[in-house]
Chain A
Amino acid sequence: MIIHQTIPLPAPGEADILQALEAQEGTVLRWALTRIDPPLLDVILLA
């Protein structure tokens, strides 16, 4: 299954993004910040 997830972040920095990605279970196919204030990360995950 490939799923789309939207994840709120504490801040829009690369360290916060990487931390959020590491917490995902599965292979990350794609990610992008889609909003800065408040920060939102879109992730496509091969679960």
Chain B
Amino acid sequence: MKPFTVLSLIPTGIGASFGGYAGDGAPATNLLACAADRLITHPNALNAATFFSRRPNVLYVEGYALDRFVEGDWALRMVCSNRIGLVVDRSAEHTLPSLLNVCNALRASAGLSITGVALTDAPVGARVVIGTNGVSSGEVENPGTLLDAAKKLVDGGAEAVAIACSLEGGDDELDENYLQGRGPDPIGGLEAILSHLVVSQLGIPAAHAPAELPWTPEGVVSPLVAAEACGSYLPCILLGLSHAPRCLPVENRKSGDLTSEDLDLLVAPYSCFGGAPMFACQRKKIPMLAVRENETVLSVHPEALGMEAIVVSSYLEAAGVILAMKEGISLASLRRPLAGVSR
């Protein structure tokens, strides 16, 4: 039987009540993975600073690569492991000893292959921008220095790149709300931009963790962000990247590589259907599932865009829908009233 493959998206920086904070999307993601044969998702659905919980059938794929994958431009190739290089922003040079301790700890305790660390020649200049509806985004003054450092690592044998930058800007009120588990992650959008840059230009798996946070969690914070009050932010991306699928142009695919033709279902919050993957799925007639309970600061619903989606109340219900689709049980037969077939 064909493996049932699900793509679960929880866009970052939009205050998603599941997955908008620090690894709080992992339980829902892992639940969906229990129902599916394979589940593809992006780093921020799982990243929880020092913690990282990923079932073996969950594929950790950066957002830009996911966009290209769903469009049909890129394929994904499963690997046993990746050699990881770490790029550190020159502005965060003072954090280097603690970052090196994290790398060495994961080499010693988790057996990761971390091949090298490169400091950027100049400060990256990554700055938080807050857009419409409070959506978090960002700008980067010197992307070239980040790419140069990443390329050095790739030339030295790295197969995936972890990025640790210093992030500037932000807003005290947004930071405080975030620590209480309300509103968008102020740095989420900027982090996505930094990894999109490296993936788009070098075509390798990448993820970003702040070298240090622009705020200091004090006291007891919301459970949704508590992972960020427990130590370094780097371990989760190193663990994720260590098994991340490689991306390659679809024309170079081999047997066993995944393409958008393998995709059976997309799952996303009901209020954020305005992204590139949703438009691509609509065009390719890939079924979509919209989860109401995962609220965000947006109101971009599938109906308003003329998209067809199965709307469910929760991830618990979504897991049931996935099981039913995988096993070939009609969703209509699981609901009442059940209309009769007519000529």
A-contact 0/1 string along B291-312, CB 8 Å cutoff: 0000000111100111000000
B-contact 0/1 string along A1-26, CB 8 Å cutoff: 11110100000111001000000000
Q: Closest B-chain residue to A12, C-beta based? A: B305
Is B197 interfacial (CB-CB < 8 Å)? yes
What are the residues of chain A within 8 A of B279 when measuring CB–CB? 14, 17
What are the residues of chain A within 8 A of B301 when measuring CB–CB? 36
A33 lies within 8 A of B300 (CB): yes
B-contact 0/1 string along A23-39, CB 8 Å cutoff: 00001011111111100
Q: What is the total number of residues of chain B having a CB less than 8 Å from a CB of chain A?
A: 34
B197 lies within 8 A of A12 (CB): no
Q: Closest B-chain residue to A14, C-beta based? A: B279
Interface residues on A, range: 20 to 34
A34 lies within 8 A of B139 (CB): no
Q: Give Cα distance in the complex from A30 to B170, angstroms.
A: 21
Q: Give Cα distance in the complex from A46 to B274, angstroms.
A: 21
Q: How far is the CB of B194 from chain A (nearest CB, A)?
A: 9
Q: Give Cα distance in the complex from A36 to B302, angstroms.
A: 11
Q: Closest B-chain residue to A3, C-beta based? A: B139
Q: How far is the CB of B274 from chain A (nearest CB, A)?
A: 3
Within 8 Å by CB of A36, from B11, B135, B196, B300, lies B300
What are the residues of chain A within 8 A of B131 when measuring CB–CB? 4, 6, 34, 42
What are the residues of chain A within 8 A of B306 when measuring CB–CB? 13
